[in-house]
Amino acid sequence: MNETAPVESQGFYTEDMTISVGPQHPSTHGVLRFVVKTDGEVISEAIPDVGYLHRSIEKIGEKVTWHGYVPYTDRADYLAAMFANQVFCMAAEKLAGTEVTRRGEFCRVIACELNRIASHLISVGTFGQDIGAMTPFVHALRERETINNLMEEICGARLTYNYIRIGGVGYDILPETCTRISEFLDHFEPIVDEFNRLLSNNKIFIERLAGVAVVSKEDALSYNLVGPNLRGCGIKWDIRRDIPYSVYPELEFEVPVGTGRVGTLGDSYDRYWVRICELQESCKILRQCLKMLPKGPAIAKVARKFKPPVGECYARVEAPRGDMGFYVVSDGSEYPYRVRIRTGSFTAMSIIDKLSKGIMVADLIALIGSLDVDAPEIDR
Amino acid sequence: MEVKENYQQLEKQFPGKVGDFKGDVPEPYCSVSPESIVEVSRFLRDDAKLKFEVLSDLTALDWPKEEKIQVVYHLYSYSNKSQIVLKVDLPRENPKVSTLEGVWKVANWFEREVFDLFGVIFTGHSDLRRIMLPEDWVGHPLRKDYVEEEEYDGISTQRAPLVEKLLR
C-alpha cells in the first residue's frame, strides 16, 4: 500500500466530527454545553451553549422591594455572593443618596475580601483538577472550609450571605471573629507558598498551560474581558484602585498583572498566576482592615419602605470574576423598575468561540478553567 | 465637569444625531438616533482624546406607556477613567437597530441577550439567536407586558395545586 497517498484514495475519508460536550461535564464549572467541531484532537470550532441556569433574576428584581432583592443577588454568582450584595446596595445607595457608616464599609471590605479568597481558591483548585491535578483541589477546599466557617460566624450563612444591606451590613463583626480571621490569615499566608510548590511551579502544570489560549490586549478590550482575565493580558486595571469605592483608597495593595511568567503574555498560566497573587493581596487588605476597623454602628438608619427617587445608575465593583455591574432604574416606587446584572463570566464565555479555534480538546478544558467562568453568573 | 465635556463634544460632532443630554442626574446620559449608533460608537472608540475602549454593558429598558424600548449602551474609557451612556429609542412594535458587532466583539452576546429577553432586532448581526431561553420559547420575558404561558413543552409553569393547598 502506498502510504504517502492521501487516505481518501485508499478508500478512507476523514471529516470533521461534531460532538456535544455537556451540559454536565464535571469540568465545565456548572451546567453549560459546548458544540465542538473537531478534526481528530484539534478543535475547529467550539460554540458555547448557555442558559441552562437561567433563573431570570433580573425579572424577579421588578417584583420584589429594594430591600427584598438583596437575597436574590446572592444567587447571581454563588461563589462570590458578597460582591453582588455589595454592588446592588451601592447602586441603591447611589440613587437614594444614602450614606454608609464607616464601620459598615470596613465590615463590607472584610467580608468581600474573605469571599474573594474563597472564590479564588475554588477557581485555582478546580483549575488544577480540570487538567488532572487532584490533590491541590482538596487543599483548596480545606482552606475554603475555614472561610465558610468564618462567614457563618459573621453572617450566619456559608454560601448565600444576604449580609450587605442598603446602608451598611446586617450584623456587626465581633471582636472574637476578628481574632479568628487574623488567626486564619496567619495560617493561610504560608499555604499560598504550599500551593505554589504543589501546583504553580509544577512542571507538568506549566507545560500544560504555557502559551495555551493566548489572549491579546486588543481582544481583551474588544471582548471586554474583566478582572484577572484582563490583568492576565498585562492591562493594569482594577476597579478597587482605578474607580475607588468603599474604603479601598485608604488601603494599600498591589494590582498583579500577567507578565508571561512561563510562556507568552496573556496565556492561560498568566490568568491563573494573577489569581494566586491576588490571594496574597487580599490577605494584605484584610490585615489592614482588621487593624483599622473603627467603632460605631454597622448600618445606617434606612427607611423600611425604601423608595429612591426617579432615576438610574450604574455601579460596579471588582468581583473575583472581574467587573460586576448593576444597572438599576427606579420609577420612584417601592420596587425597582429594572435591574440589570452585568457579570464578568458572560463576556469571558463569549471569547471562547474565538480562542478555541485550533487548540486541542484537552486544552479547551484548560481554557475554560483559566477564564474562571461560572455558569450561574453567565445565565443569571 | 469633564464628563459633561465629553457629551458636549459628541453633540457638536454629530449635530442632530446626538442630543437630549441629561446632566443633572446621578449618571448623565444622552440619546443617539438609531441609524447613527454605529458611527457614534466607532468615533468614541477611535477618537484619540476620548478613547472609549470598551463596551461595558448593553441592555434595554421597556417603557410601555411611552410606546418605546430603549437600548442602553455603557461605554467606558480605561485611559480617561470616564463613562459615557448612550440611549437609543426604538418603537415598541418593531424595534430595530444596527449591530455594534463590528465595533466591539462582545456586542455579539450582549445583543443576543437583548434580542432574547426584549425582542429587539439587531440588523446585520451574525448570529441572532436566543441565548438564555430555548429556541422555541414564546415571547420576550423582560418586556413589562409579558405573560408567562401556562405550560412549556407539556411542563406546567404554574405552581402545582397540591402546594397551593398546603400553603392555604
Question: Which pLDDT does position A117 carry in this prediction?
Answer: 92
Cβ–Cβ gap A314/B83 under 8 Å = yes
pLDDT of A26 above 80? no
- DSSP 3-state helix, strand, coil percentages of chain A (rounded to 5)? 50, 15, 35
Residue range B95-101: average pLDDT?
Answer: 88
Would the pLDDT of B67 be above 50? yes
Task: Look up residue A121 and give its three cell numbers.
Answer: 481558591
Among A51, A224, A312, select the one facing B55 at the smallest CB separation.
A224
Judge contact between A74 and A62, C-beta under 8 A. no
For residue A354, the model assigns a pLDDT of 86
Q: Test B106 with A222 for CB contact under 8 angstroms.
A: yes
The Cα–Cα gap between A26 and A22 comes to 9
The residue assigned the cell 509544577 is: A202
Phi, psi of B79, rounded to the nearest 5 degrees: -70, -45
Contact A367, A268 (CB under 8 A): yes
Q: Which residues contact B138 (CB under 8 A, 6 or more apart)?
A: B149
Q: Are A100 and A300 in contact (CB under 8 A)?
A: yes
Residue pLDDT, tens place only, B10-51: 777 777 777 777 767 777 888 888 888 888 888 888 887 888
Chain A positions in Cβ-Cβ contact with residue B132 (cut-off 8 Å)? 50-51, 54, 379
Give residue-wise pLDDT tens across range A230-255. Answer: 888 888 888 888 888 888 888 888 88
Residue-wise pLDDT for A165-194, tens only, equals 888 888 888 889 989 998 999 999 888 888
Q: B109 to chain A, minimum CA–CA distance in Å?
A: 6
User: A-chain residues within 8 Å CB-CB of B72?
Assistant: 327
> Closest Cα of chain B to A44: distance in Å?
18
Q: CB–CB of A346 and B109 under 8 A?
A: yes
Query: Of residues B136 and A7, which shows the higher confidence score?
Result: B136
Q: How far is B29 from chain A (nearest CA, A)?
A: 10
Number of residues written out for chain B: 168
The grid coordinates listed for A179 are 481574632
Could you give the CA distance from residue A120 to residue A48 in angstroms, rounded to a whole number?
Answer: 23
Phi first, then psi: what are they for A218, rounded to 5°? -60, -45
- Residue to substitute from B109, B144, B147, interface A, most A β-carbons within 10 A: B109
Task: Mutate one of A338, A342, A346 to test the B interface: name it (highest B CB count within 10 A).
Answer: A338
Query: In angstroms, rounded to a whole number, what is the distance separating the alpha carbons of residues A114 and A279?
Result: 10
Confidence class of residue B162 from pLDDT cuts 50, 70 and 90? low
Q: Are B114 and B132 within 8 A, CB to CB?
A: no
Best A224, A229, A328, A331 member to test B by mutation, with max B CBs in 10 Å, is A224
Q: Tell me: pLDDT of A1 over 50.
A: no
Q: How far apart are CA A33 and CA A352, in angstroms?
A: 12
Specify the range with the lowest mean pLDDT, choosing from A198-207, A218-227, B21-30: B21-30
Grid cell at residue A182: 487574623
Are A343 and A324 contacting, i.e. CB atoms less than 8 angstroms apart?
A: yes
Q: Please, what sign has the CA dihedral across residues B60, A53, A345, B46? A: negative
Distance from B37 to chain A by nearest Cα, in Å? Answer: 17
Q: Which residue of B has its CA nearest to A324?
A: B56
Residue A25 has pLDDT above 70, yes or no: no
Ramachandran class of B98: left when φ > 0, alpha when ψ lies in -120 to 50, beta otherwise: beta
For residue A3, what is the DSSP state? T
Q: Do A327 and B132 touch (CB under 8 A)?
A: no
> For residues B107, B112, B116 and B118, what is the CA-based torsion angle, rounded to 10 degrees?
30
Residues of chain B contacting A379 with CB distance shorter than 8 Å: 132
pLDDT recorded at residue A170:
85
Q: How far apart are CA A330 and CA A349, in angstroms?
A: 30
Contact: A325, B74; criterion CB under 8 Å: yes
Contact residues, chain A, for B81 at CB < 8 Å: 242-243
Give me the residue from A325, A329, A347 closest to B106, CB to CB. A347
Q: Measured between CB atoms, which of A312, A325, A351 is closest to B56?
A: A325
Chain B contacts to A (CB-CB under 8 A): 25-27, 29, 53-57, 59, 61-62, 72, 74, 78, 81, 83, 85, 104-106, 108-109, 113, 117, 130-134, 141-142, 144
pLDDT of A227 reads: 87
Q: Please write down the HEC assignment for all residues of B3-62.
A: HHHHHHHHHHHCCCCEEEEECCCCCCEEEECHHHHHHHHHHHHHCCCCCCCEEEEEEEEE
| Cβ–Cβ under 8 Å, residues A30 and A335 | no
Burial code (b: 16+ CB inside 10 Å, e: under 16) for A32-55 equals bbbebbbeeeebeebebebbbbbe
Q: Output the average pLDDT for chain A.
A: 86
User: Residue B1 has what pLDDT?
Assistant: 43
Q: Is the dihedral of CA A367, A371, A374, A378 positive or negative?
A: negative
Residue where the block lists cell 402546594:
B163
Cα torsion through B130, B97, B29, A88, rounded to 10: 0
pLDDT in tens, A335-354: 999 999 988 888 888 888 88
- Residue A158 pLDDT > 70: yes
> Is ipTM > 0.90 here?
no
A8-25 as b/e: b if 16+ CB within 10 A: eeeeeeeeeeeeebbbee
Q: Choosing among B99, B131, B142, which should be mutated to test the A contact, i.e. which has the most A CBs within 10 A?
A: B131
- Give the type of residue at A76: A
Residue A10 to residues A7, A15, A16, A40, A356: CA-CA distances in angstroms? 5, 15, 19, 19, 32
What is the C-alpha to C-alpha distance for residues A231 and A238, in angstroms, rounded to an integer? 8
Instruction: Locate the chain A residue with the closest alpha carbon to B59.
Output: A340
Query: Mind telling me how many Å the CA of A30 is from chain B's nearest CA?
Result: 15
Q: Please write the tens of the pLDDT for every residue from A253-284.
A: 888 888 888 888 888 888 889 999 999 889 98
Q: How far is B8 from chain A (nearest CA, A)?
A: 20
- % of chain B surpassing 90 pLDDT: 4
CB environment A100-110: b (16+ within 10 A), e (fewer): bbbbbbbbbbb
A-chain CB neighbours of B63 within 8 Å are: none
- Check A338 against B109: CB less than 8 A apart: no
Cell of A23: 451540559
Contacting B with CB below 8 Å, chain A residues are 50-51, 54, 56, 58-59, 62, 94-95, 219, 221-224, 235, 237, 242-243, 311-314, 316, 323, 325, 327, 329, 337-338, 340, 342, 346-347, 349-351, 354, 379
The pLDDT tens digits for A102-130 are 888 899 999 999 999 999 998 888 888 88
Q: How many CB atoms lie within 10 A of CB A244?
A: 12
Task: Encode pLDDT of A89-101 as tens digits.
Answer: 999 888 888 888 8
Q: Do A342 and B57 touch (CB under 8 A)?
A: yes
pLDDT for the residue A126? 86
